[in-house]
Amino acid sequence: MYTKTSKRARADFISIAFRRRNSALGLLAISFAMWGTSATAQTVVRLYTYPQGAYGQVAGVTLQKLIAKNSKTLRIESLPAAGREQYVDYANAPKENRQYMMLTMSHIEPVLGDKGQVPWDKPVPRMKAIMTFAPNSAVAMYTNNPSIRTIYDLAGKKVDIGLPGSYVYNSQAPLLIAAGVMPKIDPLPSVSINQGWQRLGDKVIDASGAGIIDMRLLPPGPADVARKSKIYQVHVPQEVFKKAQEMTGVPWLPVAVKKGAFKESYALDYEVAREESGTLAPAFTAGFWVSADMPENVAYEITKTALQHIDQFGQDHALGKLLKEKIGHMTVPQADFHPGARRAYQELGFTYGLEGINAHSNGKR
């Protein structure tokens, strides 16, 4: 079902789409199953993306289009189902099917998979990185209370830390635990970023961890709230990141947001980030991940095609222009990238991984 295009495979895929997806997703799955029925057999990779309209989904569709246009041997089937469903599907898939599945995750979820921690329902071998679509991003905690300056000040407050298994929860909970604050907060999880920010603006909660900063820009919803109400970023001291990393084994890396970062962009008359040396938030690099067992030539062709046509991401989505030199800038070591992806980055001269981020910041490509 995952590796060769045939009438039987397409029929099986359609049947599964109707049984397991709602009607809208089922129709989408059918369109992918019926598309690209050339006489030549193709290797099919199933890509789970964020919901329709999200940048991760747009980036996934762009990658799908690029492969369709430039590869005679590969095809990507994109499905906007990168929630809990992708983890269940992957964990329960046979090894021969896993090698042709691509998930949308942050750098945290592959580590959680080692022990089968939420969002996984069972342990899975460590997956390998391919590329990011959101370099320089962070999941920051925001508050409507100016007296809350650091993560320690959240004790006794109503805090949205997201639902267990969500990227917000996975990013914020370890830091709250490391700071010793988790048992002291009143958790009021929101089901979405927009709900979290709406509740923050309405003062239903004191702080929300759903403050993803997409490439250091506030998304439209949070930006509107920041214009109407004074919203401040909560600082996480460096020692909390270090302790969280020791506890979890996840590379918790801080992103420093400087004063003035949002003031000019959104015509604000106040500072969102208040620390003189930079307000720290946990780095968040969402991207595409695959099994270590994916054939090297498949991972190589996917990555090489994306790098050779990097401008297409910017044409399809405004934020895509920021991928020009940073599509490989995921906050994991280069060893955590798939060997096929590493070969493509090296051949085409793109920096990637933590080593690449450091090289780029030092003036190298």
Sheet holding 74-79, edge to edge: 74-79, 43-48, 101-105, 287-290, 128-132
CB atoms within 10 A of CB 270: 12
Supply the CATH classification number for the domain 138-282: 3.40.190.10
Q: Where are the domains of the chain?
A: 7-134+286-361, 138-282
Cβ–Cβ under 8 Å, residues 142 and 234: yes
Specify whether the backbone of 352 is left (phi greater than 0), alpha (psi in -120 to 50) or beta.
beta
Considering only residues 32 and 352, tell me which one the structure prediction assigns the higher pLDDT: 352
Average pLDDT, the chain: 84
CATH 3.90.550.10 fits 7-134+286-361, yes or no: no
| pLDDT tier for residue 362 given thresholds of 50, 70 and 90 | low
Tell me which of 80 and 102 has the higher pLDDT.
102
Q: DSSP label at 293?
A: T
Give pLDDT tens digits for 157-186: 999 998 888 888 888 999 999 999 999 999
Among the listed residues 266, 163, 245, 253, the one whose alpha carbon sits nearest the alpha carbon of residue 208: 163
Q: Is the pTM of this model over 0.85?
A: no
User: Quick one: tokens of 148?
Assistant: 């809350």
Residue 151: predicted pLDDT: 98
Note whether 244 and 252 are within 8 A (CB): yes
- The beta strands (E) that lie in the chain are given as 43-48, 74-79, 101-105, 128-132, 138-143, 158-160, 186-187, 207-213, 232-234, 254-257, 279-282, 287-290
| pLDDT tens track for 341-359 | 999 999 999 999 989 888 8
Instruction: Provide, rounded to the nearest whole percent, the portion of the chain with pLDDT above 90.
Output: 51
Whole-number pLDDT of residue 267:
80
CB 286 within 8 A of CB 104: yes
